[in-house]
Structure 1
Amino acid sequence: MKKNILLIGGSHGIGFSIASELQKEHNVYIASRTKEEIQNLNVTHIPFDVLNDELDTSVLPDELHGFVYCPGSINLKPFKMMSLDTFYEDMELNFFSLVKIVKNIISKMSVNSSMVFFSTVAVGTGMPFHSSVAAAKGAIEGFAKSMAAEYAPKIRINVVAPSLIDTPLAKRLLNTDKKVEIMSQRHPLKRVGKPEDIADVSLFLLSDKSSWMTGQILGVDGGLSSLNIN
């Protein structure tokens, strides 16, 4: 069945990889600030700034079979160097904007539909300098589990928790060969993640192949969260 799937974000990084695969078989709607990167994809673009705009749901189909929220942040600093504004901003982008959009579209989600959110390995595995982003992503995990329980069996809601992925968002952490090597060696699988690694799992969660999965936090992190090989 050809599904209607909405991505918030999706014009680059993980979202772009997801959209690139989905558009081969489904109707994909991407709500994002930019569209240059997706001009060659068979998708419908909706101009949208998640922090400043209200999503115009009138341009969406009456029924959605899938939803993915892609926006995120990486603010890695010692706690003493972080202002309260950083915590507010991370929570606004990662969590409150997600909640606002879910409120707007939940009535459009069809029976047996799927929602996919993103967290981080740093929620389940305490890491220094991650206090703000881990707090915001932790809120997403709690929200997803509660919503999965509330909307079962109609809507499945799962979360992907990656480690470091080579995307524009992580550019400053991976902008030299030495940094890439250091980050790769931290992971048992000895490389950093690629957008396709996360896209593949997201596509699975959106598909009927995951029809008996909901309320799950899936670690896609090169083994970092569960293996100690040092």
Structure 2
Amino acid sequence: MKTIIVVGGSKGIGSAIVNSLLSSHKVINISRTEPAQVHENLKHFQCDVLNDDLPEIESADGLVYCPGSINLKPINRLSLDDFRNDFEINVLGAVKTIQKYLTILKNGDKPSIVLFSTVASKLGMPFHASVAASKSAIEGITKSIGAELAPTVRVNAIAPTVTDTDLASKLLRNERMIENMTERHPLKKYLQPNEVADMATFLLSDKAASLSGQVFEMDCGIVSFKL
């Protein structure tokens, strides 16, 4: 049974990933709030990744870094602190976590790291300058450390479109916005957290043994198609 570290597994996509792993993996969750799940395979460490020391963990075979931000403002209203905060959450937190656990991951069983980008890194979208900048950095890190750690540790990223989580609630706050968001996507849907969790679980698994340095756009067609 593999051991997977999930950072930010108490809410949204992170919580869905924890749920998808628990039946067949040992899961170590690191987050500020305790997850709702209670399971014999789940261990929780309360920790603010940006401000606290990360917990000591003896062994792990996979790492998923889930924290993110959706800070949507016109460029003239985005402060430098907005850019700094988004970069810290999305990039520096991931780097800090990878650096902390890289040694134990290298000693793991066919280890894998999964990070998160966004469709806004590929598709120019108004008001996304800050989040697109930080998530584009994640895509660069995915490819760079994927090359650096090959063949020992695989590194991939998922770039979801809008996903029905608390983080995206402002984008889906009424029926009209839900309808508009659905119609914007060629597949006439947006994502549910369990769909993203299924992709993360696949990338952690031995079934993805030939995949590293890749960014998987779960875009419901919005980047890939023009219909």
Above 0.5 in TM-score? Answer: yes
Distance 2:30 2:182 in 1: 32
* Matched position secondary structure for 2:135: helix
| Deviation at residue 113 of structure 1 after TM alignment | 0.4
8 A contact 1:161–1:219 mirrored in 2:
yes
1:118 is the counterpart of 2:116? yes
Is residue 153 from structure 1 mapped to residue 151 from structure 2 by the alignment?
A: yes
The CA distance in 2 between the partners of 1:40 and 1:171, in whole Å, is: 28
Name the counterpart of 2:205: 207
Within a 5 Å distance, the mapping from 1:80-159 to structure 2 comes to 80-109=76-105, 110=108, 112-159=110-157
- The Cα of 1:41 is off from its aligned counterpart by 7.0
**1:24-80 per-position Cα deviation (integer Å, ceiling 9, x unaligned):** 0111000011115233574100011122111012xx2x3211100000000111101
RMSD: 1.1
What corresponds to 1:7 in structure 2? 6
5+ unaligned residues in a row in structure 1: which ranges? none
Ranges in structure 2 where 5+ consecutive residues have no aligned partner: none
Report the counterpart of residue 27 of structure 1 in structure 2. 26
- Which residue of 64, 71, 75 corresponds with 2:71? 75
Alignment TM-score, normalising by the size of structure 2: 0.96
Distance of 1:223 and 1:50 partners within structure 2: 33
Query: Offset of 1:133 from its aligned partner?
Result: 0.2
- 1:177 paired residue among 163, 175, 190: 175
How much does 1:191 deviate?
1.2
Counterpart CA distance in 2 for 1:63 and 1:83 is 40
Task: After TM superposition, give the deviation of residue 127 of structure 1 in Å.
Answer: 1.2
Identity %: 45
Q: TM-score, normalising length from structure 1?
A: 0.95
Task: Provide the residue aligned with 1:66 in structure 2.
Answer: 62
CA distance in 2, matches of 1:215, 1:175: 35
> In structure 2, how many angstroms separate the alpha carbons of the residues matched to 1:23 and 1:74?
28
Runs of 4+ more than 3 Å apart: 39-42
Q: Secondary structure at the match of 1:46?
A: strand
User: Is the 1:32–1:50 Cα contact (8 Å) retained in structure 2?
Assistant: yes
Going from structure 1 to structure 2, the CA distance change for 1:182 and 1:197 (only over 3 Å counts) comes to same
Segment drifting more, 107-116 vs 86-95: 107-116
Contact 1:48 1:55 in 2 (8 A): yes
Please tell me whether the aligned partners of residues 112 and 154 of structure 1 are also in contact (alpha carbons under 8 angstroms): yes
What is the rounded CA distance, in whole Å, between the counterparts of 1:101 and 1:36 in structure 2?
A: 19
The equivalent position to 1:195 in structure 2, one of 181, 193, 196, is 193
